[in-house]
């Protein structure tokens, strides 16, 4: 089973542990990158059971990239981006 970058419209294959390809990951604010990694649990890609905290951080990352690329964002992404900006995490 292949895994790809979670940025909207990106088909670049990545390791399952990676949320995004390098190009898109570099667009994510550092504080959000840290949040994604701090909530990552080894094995979550295998058991398909990442935490809510990881999902929130991932939503923020995906949302920030979408904004930078002029693409639409979901409500979950907007909420996660707002929380990340307020918390500075």
Q: What was the pLDDT predicted at 35? A: 95
SS3 85: helix
Give the global pTM.
0.92
d(CA 24, CA 77): 16
Q: How does pLDDT run across 43-80, given as a tens digit for each residue?
A: 898 888 899 999 999 999 999 999 999 999 999 999 99
User: Residue 44 is inside which H or E element, if any?
Assistant: helix 44-47
d(CA 50, CA 43): 9
């Amino acid at each position: 089973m292949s895994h790809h970058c979670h940025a909207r419209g990106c088909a670049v294959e990545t390791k399952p542990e990676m949320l995004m390809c390098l190009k898109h990951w570099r667009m994510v604010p550092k504080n959000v990158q840290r949040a994604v990694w701090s909530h990552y649990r080894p094995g979550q890609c295998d058991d398909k059971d990442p935490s809510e905290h990881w999902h929130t951080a991932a939503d923020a990352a995906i949302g920030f990239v979408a904004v930078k690329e002029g693409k639409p964002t979901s409500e979950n992404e907007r909420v996660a981006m707002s929380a990340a900006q307020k918390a500075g995490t």
